[in-house]
Amino acid sequence: MADLSVEVNRAEGNARVRLDGDLDKLTAPRLRKVLTELIAAGHVSIVIDTAALAFCDSSGLWVLVEHQREVGERGGSLALTGVQGVLRRVLDVTGLKAAFDSVLIAQK
C-alpha cells in the first residue's frame, strides 16, 4: 500500500512542505488538503521538497499544478526542490516544469 508523509514548516506567509513516499491516487488527497489549508491560512509562498518522493503519478502531479495556479492567482509562488526520478521525467516529458515558479533538480 502506498504511503506519503507530509511534513510542514510554517512561517509568516511562507511554508515548506517535505514529501516522503509515494504521491499517487491514494495519497494525493492528503497533499491537496495540506496545500488548501496552507493557502487558506495565507501561506502563498510555498516550497515543496520532493527529494524523498519515491513515486508520483498524474494524480499527484495534478495536485501540484492545481495549487501552483491557486498561489499564482494570489500573488504567491510554489517551488519544487529536490526533483528527481519519476517526477523529474514527468515534468520534462510533459513540459510542465515551466508551469512552476521554480524547479530545482536534485544533485546526485
For the stretch 14-37, pLDDT in tens is: 999 999 999 999 999 999 999 999
Distances (CA, A) of 42 to 14, 18, 47, 77: 8, 19, 14, 12
- pLDDT at 70 (0 to 100): 95
Residue 1 has pLDDT above 60, yes or no: no
Sign of CA dihedral 19, 5, 25, 70: negative
CA atoms within 13 A on the CB side of 36: 8
Among 15-24, 47-56, 57-66, 98-107, where is mean pLDDT lowest?
98-107
The residues facing 82 across adjacent strands are none
Contact 43, 10 (CB under 8 A): yes
- pLDDT at 12 (0 to 100): 85
Res. 73 pLDDT band, cuts 50 70 90: very high
Res. 108 pLDDT band, cuts 50 70 90: low
The verdict on pTM exceeding 0.85 is yes
The rounded distance, in Å, linking the Cα atoms of 17 and 10 is 9
